[in-house]
Amino acid sequence: MLATHLPLGVQVLRRGIVFIDLAIAQFAALGALVAGHHAGPVAAVATGIGFALAAAALVAWLGARWPQQREALIGLVYVGGAAASVLWVSVDPHGAQALARTLAGDILWVDWRGMTPLAAASLPVAVLAWRRPGLLDDARIFYPCFAVLVSLSVPLLGLYLVFATLIVPALAMRAGGSAMAGLAVGVLGFVGGFVASALTDLPSGPVVVLALVASALAGHLLRRALHWCRDDQHPTTP
């Protein structure tokens, strides 16, 4: 997740399209809901990817057609997908549980078989993103990669954790000035979140989200403290 979502999150911040995470993730979740729990894993993955690619195409078109209102329009795409999800599950007696699962995820129940599609898609994107990062500047490459990886991530981690994994480490990387800063925040957030979830017996997905935020805040405070120490050691002469 971190190997691919960090460079994708950097692209999201650079393009100023933060809501795209929620919009495409929401449509991927809607695709999983439409496929239903009776569908096989291949059908569920294919439906999620199809919905995510359609949302990515819509977002790309809206951004090109109305660039000044792009963020607001992407937010409306997200709200539309969320409303459609609520309506879809309203006739399902197990709809509330399915909707909650798309938001918070079922990360503790993910097995190797469930991770295989995400791992297979992540490897080439990670190599592409880290060895030739300039290629992601091309919208024709960025949007499909983003849609596929988000659609494969949401069923495993849930919409909240996917959004946090895209945004929090990318913000830390921008603030710290290096990819290592973003990766450190991401690793600390995931490991700390899993430990806190085990100790408190609380749902892992939401706990990891909060741990990512706490990790980023701790990193920010640490950088401020180091900056103050350097200023104290080398005061400027009036």
Q: Where are the domains of the chain?
A: 2-233
How far is 156 from 119, CA to CA, in rounded Å? 12
Write the CB contacts of 180 (distance below 8 Å, at least 6 apart in sequence): none
* 110, 112, 136, 179, 229 from 115: Cα distances, Å: 7, 5, 24, 25, 44
- Token pair 């300039």 in the structure block, residue: 134
How far is 162 from 154, CA to CA, in rounded Å? 6
Residue 97 has pLDDT above 70, yes or no: yes
State residue 184's pLDDT score.
92
Q: What global pTM score does this model have?
A: 0.82
Of 176, 173, 185, 183, nearest in space to 211 by CA: 185
Residue 144 has pLDDT above 60, yes or no: yes
Residue 238 has pLDDT above 60, yes or no: no
pLDDT above 90 as % of the chain: 24
Residue 8 has pLDDT above 60, yes or no: yes
State residue 37's pLDDT score.
59
Contact 51, 31 (CB under 8 A): yes
Residue 190 has pLDDT above 60, yes or no: yes
How far is 58 from 211, CA to CA, in rounded Å? 33
**For residue 41, what pLDDT band results from cuts at 50, 70 and 90?**
low
